[in-house]
């Protein structure tokens, strides 16, 4: 069930706490920088080495944070990728696609495989030519320092929302979506039994064999597999959003989102109507399951997988997958399932 917020200084809530309290705590602007860290980090990495005497996150955010933190290495750099290939697992900084509309004073934090395209389609996407009054802008390029500065200034006065999804269900969807986008070359294939131990292996496959990436570039392979917490929490582990909807109850929660936005004073009313589910989501609730079952290639030897029975990918020879994915998406699991 979707929830809205009341400002509080409490830390990361559990799912039970969220459901018990209909108004989620949201951190004020002063510490909501973490979800914008991707733009600041990208700006730092894009600068010549001679100019990096101070991380861009410190330069851009010093006016609102006493001790800003910059990542020691950018997730999109060759160095980060080489650490991956060397068998280490460097932690990427939190990244999140940021969409906004100034007239309606709203910010949408779009997390991959969480019905983000459905939300963007309803409001409209300016980068796709939409002229709807509600159409959303996207933070692009990521190192657009003036836009980052403007968004930071608006954060506390805008309504910020996102949608979340069951971590294991989302991982299943990610595997189906990203694997299907790889080239059919046998060397590009990442079996489910390996993916569930480390989802970033899909990105590694493209680093090793660039021809494997037929739809997404190498950074996108990693980006689409990032935890949801990047679109929920600040560096201090507190909520940076006003409203959290759930993909599993998308229609109900999207209606609640519109009611939440339209209850505000001093801003135009968002048109109310049914939200259409787009892309893979509109192909049926079992679409991702069907694709993933095929890609898993013999989940249960001698058996025909039920495309709507996700448990087959977490049993028998794949019993390790539950622990592997909950470890990889540990922060999501603790936030959404504990």
Domain containing residue 37: 4-165+233-279
Alpha helices per DSSP H over 88-184: 116-123, 145-154, 167-180
Domain end marker among 244, 260, 279: 279
Tell which wins on pLDDT, 9 or 82. 82
Find the mean pLDDT for residues 112-126: 92
- 135 and 60 co-located in one domain: yes
Could you tell me if 239 and 257 lie in one domain?
yes
Residue 119 shares a structural domain with residue 190: no
Q: Do both 249 and 201 map to the same domain?
A: no
- The pLDDT assigned to 308 comes to 61
Judgement on whether residues 75 and 157 belong to the same structural domain of the protein: yes
332, 229 contact by CB (below 8 A): yes
**CA–CA dist 203, 201 (Å, integer):** 5
- Determine the pLDDT at residue 279: 57
Can you tell me whether residue 12 is helix, strand or coil? coil
Question: Residue 311's CB: how many other CB atoms inside 10 A?
Answer: 10
| Maximum mean pLDDT: which of 1-5, 61-65, 122-126, 257-261 | 257-261
151, 253: one domain? yes
146 and 79 assigned to the same domain = yes
What is the per-residue pLDDT across 236-284, written as a single tens digit (0 to 9) for each? Answer: 777 889 999 999 899 999 999 999 999 999 999 999 998 877 654 444 4
- Do 191 and 252 lie in one domain? The reply is no
Say how far apart CA 320 and CA 242 lie, in whole Å.
36
Same-domain status, 210 and 66 = no
The torsion angle over the Cα atoms of residues 50, 51, 52 and 54, rounded to 10 degrees, is: 130
The pLDDT, as a whole number, for residue 34 is 36
Q: How far apart are CA 97 and CA 102, in angstroms?
A: 17
Q: What pLDDT, in 10s, does the model give residues 306-321?
A: 546 667 788 888 899 9
Please report the pLDDT score of residue 134 as a whole number: 97
Residue 75 has a pLDDT of 53
As a whole number, mean pLDDT of residues 6-28 equals 33
* pLDDT score of 286: 56
Residues 198, 218 within the same domain: yes
Does one domain contain both 217 and 260?
no
The total of structural domains in the chain comes to: 2
Residues 144 and 257 both lie in one domain? yes
Say what the pLDDT of residue 264 is: 96
Q: Which helix (H) or strand (E) holds 161?
A: strand 159-164
Share of the chain above pLDDT 70, in %: 65
Average pLDDT over residues 124-138: 91
Residue 296 pLDDT level (bands cut at 50, 70, 90)? very low
66-103 pLDDT, tens per residue?
222 333 345 556 788 888 888 888 877 677 889 999 99
């Amino acid at each position: 069930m979707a929830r809205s917020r009341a400002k509080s200084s409490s830390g990361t809530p559990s799912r039970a706490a969220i459901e018990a309290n209909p108004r989620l705590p949201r951190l004020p602007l002063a510490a909501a920088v973490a979800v914008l860290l991707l733009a600041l980090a990208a700006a730092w990495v894009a600068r010549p080495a001679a100019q990096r005497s101070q991380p861009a996150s410190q330069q851009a955010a010093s006016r609102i944070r006493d001790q800003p933190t910059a990542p020691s290495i950018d997730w999109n750099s060759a160095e980060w990728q080489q650490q991956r290939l060397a068998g280490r697992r460097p932690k990427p900084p939190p990244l999140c696609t940021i969409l906004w509309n100034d007239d309606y004073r709203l910010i949408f934090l779009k997390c991959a495989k969480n019905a983000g395209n459905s939300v963007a389609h309803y409001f409209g996407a300016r980068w796709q030519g939409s002229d709807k009054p509600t159409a959303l802008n996207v933070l692009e390029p990521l190192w657009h320092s003036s836009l980052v500065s403007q968004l930071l200034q608006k954060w506390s006065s805008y309504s910020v929302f996102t949608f979340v999804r069951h971590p294991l269900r989302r991982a299943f969807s990610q595997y189906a979506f990203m694997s299907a986008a790889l080239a059919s070359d046998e060397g590009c294939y990442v079996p489910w039994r390996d993916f569930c131990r480390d989802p970033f292996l899909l990105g590694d496959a493209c680093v090793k064999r660039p021809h494997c990436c037929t739809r997404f570039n190498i950074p996108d392979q990693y980006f689409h597999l990032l935890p949801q917490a990047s679109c929920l929490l600040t560096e201090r582990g507190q909520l940076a959003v006003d409203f959290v909807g759930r993909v599993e109850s998308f229609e109900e929660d999207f209606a609640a989102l519109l009611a939440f936005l339209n209850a505000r004073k001093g801003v135009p009313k968002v048109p109310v109507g049914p939200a259409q589910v787009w892309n893979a989501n509109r192909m049926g609730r079992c679409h991702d399951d069907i694709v993933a079952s095929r890609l898993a290639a013999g989940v249960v030897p001698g058996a025909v997988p039920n495309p709507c029975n996700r448990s087959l990918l977490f049993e028998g020879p794949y019993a390790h997958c539950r622990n592997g994915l909950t470890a990889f998406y540990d922060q999501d699991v603790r936030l959404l399932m504990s």
